[in-house]
Amino acid sequence: MKQYNVTLTGLTPLLMHQDNLSFGEKIKAWQKDPANKELSTKGDDRSPAWTWMGYAYHDTRVLGIPSDNLMTCIREGATKVPSKGKATYKKQSQAGLAIDQQQWDLRVNGKTIDFKALWSGLMGENDFARHIDEVEAAGFELFIKRAKVNSNKHVRVRPMLRTWEASGSFTVFDDETSGLTLPVLTRIFEQAGAYCGLGDWRPSSPQSSGSFGKFTASLSAV
């Protein structure tokens, strides 16, 4: 087995959109509560004001990129790197390596973002302006955009990091069998960063692709 350290450096802003089912139930319960009727606006992520917190990638401590997202990104990059014949490294990238951490912690200007503190201070707070201020003080921002859903206009709010860096490690089980050598891995990450990306509205998004989440990668053997 061989282990590699990786540092990802963002080329374009990172937009978060976690598919958080349990948090979605909290929002539904809030919207159905008669006490919140006057505060609720259908199709608007600003009501409740803390909706964005369910979209953030985190491990309850700090913001980060989950291992599942990283593996998807690696797979998408590996499909663009030729192997033998007409094959690519897609299968090897999923069976031949594993991310070593639950998430790779995100950093802005060299510092991690304390999500636990934001949760403690803002969860249940219905003043959206306060959310904007607290988030900006923490080093990122809330991206607010109108989006058409069927024939209706909705307001979407997503956590966004304009400048970002993430680092962690992964382990290759058998580079001779899989062919996942350092030059191949470097090429996979190059393709993933340039043409696939991470997060929402990335180049490889299946429904609504965009330019968010592109990066460069630096790999080194441990």
- Determine contact, residues 19/66, Cβ cutoff 8 Å: no
Q: Does residue 8 contact residue 104 with C-beta atoms inside 8 Å?
A: yes
Name the helix (H) or strand (E) containing 169: strand 165-172
Position 39 scores a pLDDT of: 84
- Average pLDDT over the chain reads 95
Neighbours of 73 (CB within 10 A): 25
What average pLDDT does the segment 84-113 reach? Answer: 97
DSSP 3-state of 160: strand
pLDDT at 149 over 90: no
Q: Is pLDDT at 201 greater than 90 in this prediction? A: yes
pLDDT of residue 73: 98
β-pair type (103-108, 165-172): antiparallel
pTM: 0.93
Structure token pair of residue 76: 């998408």
